[in-house]
Amino acid sequence: MAVFAPAVVYSPEIEHRQADEEETIAALATVFTGMARTVAEHEGHAHRAVHAKGHALLNGRFQVLDGLPAELAHGLFATAGSYEALVRLSSPPAEQLPDNVSTPRAMAVKILGVDGPRVDGGDELHSQDFLMVNGPAFSTPGAHGFLRSAKLLAATTERMPRTKQALSATLRGAEAALEAVGGQSATLKALGGEPRHHPLGETYFTQVPFLYGPYMAKFSWVPVSPALLALTGAPLPSGADAQREAVAAFFADLSAPVEWELRVQLCRDLEKMPIEDASVAWPEAISPFVAVGRLQVGAQPSWNAAAAAREDALAFAPWHALAAHRPLGSLNRARRVVMAASRQFRSQFNRCPLHEPGTAQG
């Protein structure tokens, strides 16, 4: 049996801000709110500034596993329990682009009815949100690189949709060639070169770290049911709403619920598993992902007018969290400000306050 180094205990000096970080984050908030405004004025409705296009909103149930070892029994995972959950599948950027422009996939899960001390800066009192995308590392180390990428994205928001579709097809070909020789490019994927695969077969990652009680960790949603695993790498047909239609068909015909595992990867080496550089995928050889919970989703309509309206009134954010799972690092500090600004703009433009959902029990 493999023996791993002990998890690193968090201390405040592990996180370090660059001298101009506040200015960079303020600029990011301006850029993303500007993208949201551009789309809103064009379409007459404000969408999310990132991951604007929803493909599904699902009801599920999350189960914290019983008998976790002491190293993993912290925060939400301190004791076994069962919770209602909402699952949103989506894709970036700020526009409702056709799926022929194949950008990364995202899976956001809001676990409801979670009680305990809350992180400072969160605006929901009983939710624990996990936001993930289908890649283990971010395209840039921190907020500065994120700002450069955001400015490029903003320059093309709501412009040249046909050109974007043609560019996406070219980039997918380049990414396929790169992967054929054993490589991957987060930049190519982010710009539209994401392979057009079924979103339900993907593995999703937080990419950025969080507190895990006294430790630090990254999280991952991993499909474990055979019906989901059969979709790993499965191609999607061409179509403006191919992802939405594929997910709807899957859950309409489902004979038994399917499951994802929530896995955690503890930081065991600060040099090889940095907190402030999100472009580094933490090596699983020194700290593998370990299951701490299971998400179960059964047959249901995954998208209709009611689901679209409900999704529009929800907000998913990494700062909707217990204090034991506070987001860490430059990108998470930026997300706190940027996503709050996006939520405020969306709520004001649509004249519809965003509310934390309650559970069926109250």
**Digit-coded pLDDT (tens) for 36-59:** 888 888 889 988 878 889 999 999
Q: What is the pLDDT of residues 167-226, one digit of tens each?
A: 334 333 333 333 344 444 444 344 444 678 899 999 999 999 999 999 999 999 999 999
Query: What integer pLDDT is reported at residue 52 of this predicted model?
Result: 84
Q: State the Cα–Cα distance between residues 104 and 90, nearest whole angstrom.
A: 9
pTM for this one?
A: 0.88
Q: Above 70 in pLDDT, residue 117?
A: yes
Closest CA to 102 of 169, 152, 177: 169
Which structure tokens are listed for 353?
A: 């306050």
Note every long-range contact of 352-359, with CB atoms under 8 Å and residues 24 or more positions apart, other chains counting.
Answer: 352/312, 352/313, 354/313, 354/314, 354/315, 355/313, 356/123, 356/124, 356/125, 356/126, 356/127, 356/320, 357/86, 357/110, 357/112, 357/127, 357/314, 358/112, 358/126, 359/84, 359/112, 359/113
The widest CA-to-CA distance across the chain, in whole angstroms, is 59
Whole-angstrom CA distances from 91 to 43, 134, 143, 264, 351 are: 18, 10, 21, 23, 24
Residue 211: alpha-carbon gap to chain centroid: 17
Closest CA to 91 of 228, 238, 177, 196: 196
Q: Which position has the higher pLDDT, 362 or 105?
A: 105
Q: What is the pLDDT of residues 133-165, one digit of tens each?
A: 999 999 888 898 888 887 877 776 554 444 334
Burial class (CB in 10 A: 0-12, 13-18, 19+), 167: middle
| Percent above pLDDT 70 for the chain | 87
Give the bridge partners for 220, in sequence order: 205, 263
Q: State the Cα–Cα distance between residues 115 and 341, nearest whole angstrom.
A: 26
